[in-house]
Amino acid sequence: MSLGVNEPASAGSGPEPERPTVIGGSTRFVPGQSNDRITIVNGKVQLGQRLVDLWHNRDLLVLLTRTELKVKYKESALGYAWSMLNPALVLAIYYMIFKVISKTPQPHFAIWLFCGLVAWNLFNNSASASTTVVVGKAGIIKKVAFPRELLAMSTVGVAIVLFAIQMVVLVIFLALFQQAPDWAALWLLPLAFIALLVFTCAVSIFLSAVNVYLRDTQHLTEVAMMAWFWLTPIVYPFGLVAPHLKQYHLTWLYLANPIAPIAMTFQRVIYGQTSYVAAGATTPTQLLPAYGPGWYAMMMGIVILVSTGLFLLSLMVFGRLEGNFAEEL
């Protein structure tokens, strides 16, 4: 018996409708709404599978980073030059305050300051931007299934590009001041960069997920970053606070801030001095711990290990929270 015009087709009479590809999740169909499909991301995907998905979608990470950069400098006359002007202006302000007004006797103070700023800016720019990246991409999250951690990691990618530009500015300053880095310790820079990168990824992924549920996170992060900056030896040298910390046995607590040893390593390698003798003084002023490169390498190894653990933990937290992203957004 042939089917009438108005009769429904049997279940096997036509080709099966195309189903979307979902990474780390499943798809269900709403009854009575055959054309509407809701993608549910499975928050119980194993940690190992999450790492595999991130690796397989690394091209998507590059695409997201490029998109963020284009949006950041869209219709901007100076474009990437703003990434040089902003830290240069901050550098000029601090230089005027500490070198001209306060008249610090430290030689090449601008170089010292910039060494810490380039490391801090990478961390601060990514962590601050990550708090709103998931909320800002709500439309994509509701329609497309992909590893959502890549959104937070794209803020790290943007920060890396800006970091590279600022490093060019730093090299120019080194040439202008005729200051050479410690070439023998130059191998410490890749370790410091890896430690900074892993820790920044961990913090960015965590903040991006938490802010979906607690929107005050982005405002709390702004305040926390201001305090964090002054708890890191960037504007002032570690040698200035070390005696007071040692007196109360708090040196370990100060160095528990992962950005502190990272910034100190950048200063140790690029600035190239751990102390200086001021004009008219007989004793040197200590800037950094007077240890060899091995001590700094040990500190970077500890930071890398701890940051790796935090990175894996942040992935687990993100996985537990992302299941209800669509509802919260």
- Neighbour tally for 115: CB within 10 Å: 25
pLDDT tens track, the chain, 329 positions: 444 444 444 444 444 444 444 444 433 334 444 444 444 445 466 888 889 999 999 999 999 999 888 877 776 666 667 777 777 787 788 778 877 887 788 888 888 988 999 999 999 999 999 999 988 888 888 787 788 899 999 999 999 999 998 898 889 888 888 888 999 999 999 999 999 999 999 999 999 999 999 988 999 999 999 999 999 999 899 999 999 998 988 999 999 999 999 999 999 999 988 988 887 778 888 999 989 999 999 999 999 999 999 999 999 999 888 887 877 76
Please give the pLDDT value at position 283.
87
In a domain, 213, yes or no: yes
Residue 147, exposed/middle/buried by CB under 10 A (0-12, 13-18, 19+)? buried
**What is the pLDDT, as a whole number, of residue 4?**
42
Residue 89 has what pLDDT?
Answer: 82
Residue 262 exposed, middle or buried by CB count within 10 Å (0-12, 13-18, 19+) = buried
User: What is the count of structural domains for the chain?
Assistant: 1
Closest of 203, 161, 185 to residue 303, by C-alpha: 203
SS3 readout for 58-72: HHHHHHHHHHHHHHH
Please, are residues 130 and 204 in contact by the beta-carbon 8 Å criterion? Answer: yes
In a domain, 30, yes or no: no
What is the reported pLDDT for 44? Answer: 60
| Confidence at residue 211, expressed as pLDDT on a 0 to 100 scale | 92
Is residue 269 a part of any domain in this protein?
yes
In a domain, 26, yes or no: no
pLDDT, residue 122, reads: 95
| Residue 165 φ then ψ, to 5° | -65, -40
Cα separation of 16 and 34, whole Å? 13
Residue 310, domain member (yes or no): yes
Would you say residue 39 lies in a domain? no
**229-233 LR contacts (CB < 8 Å, sep 24+):** 229/120, 229/124, 231/257, 231/260, 232/116, 232/120, 232/257, 232/259, 232/260, 232/263, 233/116, 233/260, 233/263, 233/264, 233/267
Other Cβ atoms closer than 10 A to 322: 24
Half-sphere exposure of residue 53: CA atoms within 13 angstroms, side-chain side: 18
Q: CA distances (Å), 169 to each of 89, 91, 193, in order?
A: 12, 11, 17
Is residue 13 included in any domain, yes or no? Answer: no
Place of tokens 């990691």: 153
- Read off the amino acid at residue 312: L
| Residue 196 belongs to domain spanning | 46-328
**Any domain includes 225:** yes
pLDDT of 39: 41
Contact 274, 287 (CB under 8 A): yes
Q: Which residues pair with 37 in a beta bridge?
A: 29
